[in-house]
Structure formats: C-alpha cells, structure tokens
Structure 1
Amino acid sequence: MLLAIDAGNTNVVFALVDGGEIRARWRIASDPRRTADEYAVWLHQLIELEGHPKDAVDAVIIGTVVPRALHNLEVLATKYFRSEPLVAGQGRAEWPIALEVDEPQNVGADRALNAIAAHAKYPGELIVIDFGTATTFDLVGPSGAYRGGIIAPGINLSLEALVSAAAKLPRIAIEAPKDNLSVIGRTTQSQMQIGIYWGYVAMIEGLTERMKRELEGPPTVVATGGLANLFDKHTNVFDAIEPDLTIQGLSLLYDMAMRGPR
C-alpha cells in the first residue's frame, strides 16, 4: 500500500492509497520541527484504527512546498516504513509534464501534482483552482503541460490579516452570509462575512473570467481544497470539484515513476 504525503504550508496530509483508490486520509498541522518519531507515533495509531497493520505501507511518496519538512518525512519513511521514499519532482519522480513557465524550478509541487491529476481526469484545456494557504489558479494545456497561473492570498490568511490589523474586529467563521440576497450588512460581523465571502466569490469569478479571455476555447474549471464546496454553493464557475486532487497526483506520479523512463 502506498503512503502519499502532501506537506503544505498549513497542513500535512497523509493518505493510504491502494490500487489508485484512497483508503484513508489524515491531516496534521504543518510544523517543520516535528520529528519523524512524532509523526510515527501519531500515524501508526491512525493506521491501526483504520484496521490496517503497521506494515501495510510498502511504498512512500512525498510532495512538499515546505523544504524544511522534507528531511523528517524522509526519515519517517526509511526508519518506520522501511521504504526509500520518492520525492515529487526529484530523481525517479521527476515531473512527467512540461513546465512552460519562465521559472520552472519555482513551481510548487502541489501545483504540478494538481496539473497531473486534473489532466488524467479531464480532456482539453483546464483551469485548476486550489483553495489552500494561498488560492492558486493554474492553467493546464491540452497536453498536460503546466502553463502558469495566479497566486492570491487564501481566504483564511486574508481574514487573519484583517482581524490582526484591526483591534475592534471580531474573529468570525468563514461561511456564506445568512441573508444570501443582500450585500449590505447591518452589523459588524455580517459586514465582515459579506466582505470575506462575497469578496472572495467575486475574485474567483473575476480572475477565472480574465484567464478564459486569454484562451482560444472554453476550459474545464476544476476546484480542489477544503473550501471548494463552500463556494460552489453560490457560484457556477466550477465544472468539477476534486477534493483529493493533490493526493491523486502523488499516486499517479508514483505509478509513472515505477513504470520507468517515459
């Protein structure tokens, strides 16, 4: 069974993948100081709670946008799972897609993995929107090539910055305003919810539309990340929601690496 690890800026997601199917997934807050021993104690218990033996994992692949986290995750793989891990974008797991941008070495692993997974599921040109620490909009060509995109502050990051900078503003949950028809708030909290939620919907729709204007034909818009479903309720911009796109990309990349040179 494959252990796929997606180490992001906010969370690290661990998933058990068997035959391309995700059997279980867990997340833990990102902390580059967390040791392999700490990961192992936590992860072994969760694997057993799902009904799998600890030795069920016989392969590991890691994708990370946090370079400092990589070493401890590699030690986790070699020490506790007796597996030499593949690292997305490196060695045997080099990207199987073209990175058609000016600085290909700076493309985040999550964005390349999303491109791989989205291209495998949907034909033609794609726009992939990932709701993470940052909200990213990525253009994937018909051949699967990563062709660039947009990086915007994530909604949680935006809200945290707003609350931190304004002493009298309260912390609020990220949710659709209760009065879905009005964008005029009557309380401080409702005004914040409107600004954050509908402001973000407007950004998603506006940036997606601007990207489409630069393309020859209509692309398929694929959304991923924890908040995709929240926004899908009040916009028609998404053609598909794929919550596990990055993990799927790791699984596909592992399979490609195991098949040998392309």
Structure 2
Amino acid sequence: MLLAVDIGNTNMEFGIFERNQLKASFRLATHHDVTSDELGLSIRQFFLIHGIDLSTLEDVLISSVVPQVIYSVKNAMRKYLGIEPMIVQENFNINIVNRYDNPAEVGADRLVNAYAGFKKYGGGIVVVDFGTATNFDVIDRDGAYLGGVLYPGVKISMDALAQKASKLPKVEIETPKKVIGTNTIMSLQAGIVYGYTGVVIHIIEMLQKELGYRPKVIATGGLARVIGKQTDAFDVIDRSLTLDGLCMIYQDYKTSK
C-alpha cells in the first residue's frame, strides 16, 4: 500500500492506494509552521477512521512545491508511520522529456500532472490545474512536456480584491444565479466565476492556435468542477489526476527495481 502526498501552497492532499486503486483521500491546509506531531497525528487518525491497517503501508511518495514544510512532513512519516518517505525529483526523477528552457524550474506538481495526463489520456493534451495558481501544462503528441501558462488562482484573485478594496467582502466561490448581480456578493461571484471562465477559454484557444491542432483538455484541482460547469472547453474533469500520477510514478519505480 502507498501513501501519496501532494504538498501545494494552499493544501496538502493525501491519497491511500492499494496497488493502483485510490482507496481514500483527505486534505489538510498547508501551514509553514505546522509541526511533525500535528501532521503525524492527523494522518494516523485518518487511517483509523477509514479502518486501514497502518502495518499494510509499504511506502510514502511526496511531491512538494513548498520547501518550508517538507522537513515536518518527512519527520511525521518517520516518527508516526515508521517509513522513510521518497521525494519526487529528490530520490528519483519523473520519466518524462522536459523541454523547458531550464528544466529545474518546473514544479514537481506540474510534471506529475503532465506524466499522469499522458499515461491516462495520451499525447497532445493540456492539463489545467486549478490550485493556488492555475497551471496550463502542455504535453505534445510524443509525451514530452513543452511548458505552459501560469495564472493567478481563483482564491488568490478573490483574496487580493478583498484586501485591496476595503468595502468588498470575501465571498464563497460559487456560481451565481445570473450574470447581472443585484447585490455585492452576487456581483463578485459573477465576476470571478464568469470572468475566470473567459480567461480559461481564451488561454486554451491561444494554446490550440500555437500547437496547430486541438489538444484534449484535462481539468483538475479544487475548482475544476465550478469552472467546468460554465464551459465545454474541458474534455475531462479528473479530480485525482495528481495523486494518480504519484501512484503511477511509484509503480514504474517498483517495476524498474
């Protein structure tokens, strides 16, 4: 059994895999000052709630874009699970051709998504990951990672607006009943949902024009379904893409040993 961990700037997502099947998953907020004890107890509690025997856990594989918390996460795995975790791009690399100008600049999450997208859906794809930033990652027909687009995430945009405009409140990010908002909350929701949808559609159209063909577009991340309801630009919404990618990377690693 594998525990896959995706550490993002906003959330840490944990997935428990038996062979290549995701049995359960959960999220914790990413805090730079989190302790290994807090993490370890939360993880053990999750295993307990779902009736999963910790003794069946073989390995832990971590993908992280937050260096400040990796020490606490690794220590939690050692102390509370008795396992030395493996780190993507530290213990081993992802088996994908990386055509970025400086390949080391590409975040592990982007490469994991690219690898998973190619494995699950073939080449000629764009993966749109709605996280702290919204990443548009392009994988060519041969499975090579070409690069992509980084855009401020939905939540960052809302938080910045509330911070800079003192009279505007923070609101839940959900689809309003109509575009013309008749109160401040509806107006903000219309702007963020419909405006963000327009940005996503336009970027996908520009990527398609530059590629010279229509790629298959895979959406993942927390707000993929919210934006996906507003457009037919996505061919697939795959919420577990990153965790699945970590499991695939692990299976390849085990096969190669």
Counterpart residue number, 2:23: 23
Are 1:245 and 2:245 counterparts?
no
Structure 1's unaligned 5+ residue stretches are: none
Q: Does 1:108 align with 2:107?
A: yes
Determine if the alignment matches structure 1 residue 166 to structure 2 residue 165: yes
Does the residue aligned with 2:182 lie in a helix, a strand or coil? coil
Which residue identity is paired with 1:164?
Q
TM-score for the superposition, normalised by structure 2: 0.96
How far off is 1:81 after superposition? 2.1
Quote the offset at 1:143 in angstroms.
Answer: 2.3
Aligned-residue offset at 1:14: 1.1
State the secondary structure of the residue aligned to 1:17: strand
1:139/1:147 contact within 8 Å kept: yes
Q: Work out the CA distance in 2 between the residues paired with 1:124 and 1:144.
A: 5
Structure 1 residue 125: Cα displacement: 0.4
Amino acid at match of 2:182: R
Q: Return the match for 2:226 from 224, 230, 240.
A: 230
CA distance in 1, matches of 2:49, 2:141: 42
The alignment covers a number of residue pairs equal to 257
TM-score (norm 1): 0.94
**Residue equivalent to 1:64:** 64
**Structure 1 segments (4+ residues) deviating >4 Å:** none
1:123-177 alpha-carbon deviations (Å, 9 max, x no partner): 2300000000011101011222211001111111100100111111122211112
Instruction: Please provide the CA RMSD for this pair.
Output: 1.3
Percent of aligned pairs with the same amino acid: 38
Q: Which runs of 5+ in 2 are unaligned?
A: none
Asked if the contact 1:3/1:14 (under 8 Å) is kept, the reply is yes
Instruction: Output the CA distance in 1 between the equivalents of 2:67 and 2:153.
Output: 20
1:32 corresponds to: 32
For CA contacts below 8 A with separation 6 or more, give which structure has more relative contact order: 1
TM-aligned CA deviation for residue 90 of structure 1: 2.1
2:6 alignment partner in structure 1: 6
Q: C-alpha distance in 1, partners of 2:104/2:43? A: 31
Q: Which secondary structure state, in structure 2, belongs to the residue aligned with residue 22 of structure 1?
A: strand
Q: Determine helix, strand or coil for the equivalent of 1:214.
A: helix
Distance (whole Å) between structure 1 residues aligned to residue 123 and residue 88 of structure 2: 24
Letter in 2 for 1:78: R
